[in-house]
Amino acid sequence: MKLPIKYTHTHPQVRREAREQYIKEQDGDCYWCKSSLKQHPPKEIIDQDIDWDFFPDNFLKWPVHLQHDHATDLTEGAVHAYCNAVMWQYHGR
């Protein structure tokens, strides 16, 4: 698959495949914090004060998310769910 892809109007199965491809291309590390996606994010990420009211109820259901740029709708990489929350809340990403 050629990455990046448009996120919003892409079938969930294609997004899943893109996430898996990013994981391989990133050698299993998070795009944001650079730690292993098989581990919890670093303490400095988990300790961030997150306003969970900003996020859907099932936001943490999947531990690895496909990050996309909200301005361009293009995918950027695979991230921990917590990293995705930090990117969204504190960095507008």
What are the structural domains of the chain?
Answer: 12-91 (3.40.1800)
| pLDDT tens digits along 33-63 | 999 999 999 999 999 999 999 999 999 999 9
Question: Is the pTM above the cut of 0.75?
Answer: yes
How many Cα atoms occupy the beta-carbon half-sphere of 2 within 13 Å? 0
| 18: helix, strand or coil | helix
Q: Could you please report the per-residue DSSP string of 76-88?
A: EEEEEHHHHHHHH
Asked if 22 and 74 touch (Cβ cutoff 8 Å), the reply is: no
CA angle centred on 81, ends 44 and 68, rounded to 5°: 110
Six token digits for residue 32: 């944001």
The mean pLDDT value for 69-77 works out to 94
**pLDDT at residue 70, rounded to an integer:** 87
On average, the pLDDT of the chain sits at: 96
